[in-house]
Structure 1
C-alpha cells in the first residue's frame, strides 16, 4: 500500500441535504461526522510525523496539540473551495502559531489544495511548503507567517474589511488559531482591544492552550492567567473547553457559535496537551522544536498513534509501517551558499 494514496480511503464530510430525514438519520450523520473528523485528526498527526522526519525539522508538540481543532475546522466549520482558493465568499483561516504549519499543510493536501506527495518537501528550499507558511507559494494560505503576535492584528483588519463589504458577506467569519505562549506578545492584546472596540462578532480567536512554550511551562515563564477573565475584559465572548481534543465538544461548540453571534468577538480557549498522543512529546518542552531523528523513531511514533486511534478508526494496520518506510530523511535543502547575498544570510 502506498501511504500517500491513503487519502483515497478518507472522504471529507458533507452534510446530506438531498432528502427529508428523521431523527435517526440526523443521528447517523452526526456520528459519521465525528468518526470522519477523528480519522482526519489521526491522519494529520501521522502525516505530520512524515513531514517533519523527512525534513529533519519541525514543531511536533504544537502540531499535535492543534490536530483536532484543525480537523474540525476543515471538515466541518470552514466554508472554502479548494479548486477556487480565492472564492470571495469563503471563510478566512489564519494559523497565527505558524511554526505548527505541518498540521495545516496536511489538511490542505487532504482537501485537495495540492498533492499529498508535496508534503515530503516540507521545509526544503525548493518546496512551496516552507517551515512558516508563505501565501505567495502555497494554495490555501491566507497570509505568510513570521514572528509570533503579528497575525491577530491582520485578522482584526480582515474582519473589519469583510464587514464593510456589505450584508452579502455577513455570514463570513474570520478564524485565527493562536498559541498560548504567543499571547505573551503585546501586539496580540492590541489586536484584542481593537476587536472588542469594534464589536467584531465575525472574528473567532482560538487559543491552543497547551501550557508549554519553547523554553518551558508558560505559567513559569510568563503566566497569562486569569486568561478567560482578561479576554472578557477586552469585550470577548469567551468559551473555554473542557477538552480541546474532544471532537464532539468542538463540533457542538462551533455549531452554537455560528448560530448565536451576539455583537462581540469570540474567543475559544482549547484546553489541550502539548504533544498529544505521543508519550515522549506530551508536556515536554524539548519537543517544542525538534523532529524525530531517525526513521526508527518516527516508526515508533506512528505505531503509537495507530495503537491509540488508528485501530479504533478502522485504519488499515499496514498503514503506519508503509508511511514510515516511505520516509526519506533529506533535511532542509538549501541553495548554494555562494548564491546567497549578505542580506539573505
Structure 2
C-alpha cells in the first residue's frame, strides 16, 4: 500500500507550494488542535508506563514526515522529565522509534531530529542533560516491528483508518459490486460495507496482537484515527464526503468519455472509519488490552475557502494512488472538478465535517477477555 496519509499531509503540507500552504494554514491549525486536544489523554498513561525504567522506549507508528510529526513524542519526553525532576529522581534515557511505510520521506523526517534533540537537551540541562536516541523503523504496522516486551509507550495519530489493502470480495463473478463508488458510501450495496468492515476487523486485530507482544506489561498505547459517529455500519450516511465527491467527479468524466466506466468501477480506496463501539468490540475480542479511556471529537468544515483547502489536501493524500490507476494526465482537471463538486456539497449541508476517535489502551498481564456477542 504506497500512499501518503491524508491528515499527515494536513500536518506537513509538503509539496503544495507557498500559495497552497497559505491556503491550507487553517487545516494545519485544526490538525494541531486535534493533537493538542488529546495530549491530556496521552501524558497521564505515559507517566504510568514509564515511571520506574532507566530507558524509556517510545514508538510513533505511521509517523509521516510533517511539521507536527515529533510533537507528541516531544510532549511525552518533556512530561516524563518534569515528573522525574519533581520526584528528585534521575532522568531516564529515551529511545524513540519512528515508523512508517518504506515510501515515507525519512530523509525529511530525520532532518528535523537534530533540532528536536537539541531543544529537549536545552530544556533539561541539569549538568549531563538527557540522552534521546532516534531511529527509523520502516514497515507496515500490521505485523511485528519490534522485539518482544521492548516498548513502554506506543502512539499512532491519524493512520489506523488506512487498511492494509483494498478489501477482498469486491468482485462478484468478475464484476465489480461497488460500481460508481471509490469507497463505501450511501450508494454502496450492503455487501461492500460488510467487506470493508471485515478487512478492518482483520487488520486491527493483527495490529493489537503485534503490539501486545512488543509492549511491556502495563505499557500504554494512544491511538487516534478518523471514525464515524454512527454505530450502525449500514446506516446510509457519509460523514467524510471527500471520497463521495471524488466518485461524482469521476462519473462526470465517464459521461464526458474522458475515462472508461470499467476503470472507475475497478478502483477503491483501502480505508475504513470505525465507530467507538467497533473499536471497543475489537479490543475485547483480541483480549490483550484494557481500555483506559476513549473520546470522540467532531470538527466541522465550515471555514473560509474550505472546498479549495480540503480538495488540495485530499489531492496531496490520494494523488499517488489515483495516478497509478488512472494516469497523471487526469489529475489537474479531476481535482478542479472535485473542488467544484465539494463546494456544492458543502453549500447544501450544514452539519458536515470529520469525526476523530482517540482511545488509550493498557497492556494486560494476561489475555483477559472472553468476548460475548451482544
Q: Which has the higher strand share?
A: 2
TM-score normalised over the length of structure 2: 0.27
Larger Rg computed on CA atoms:
2
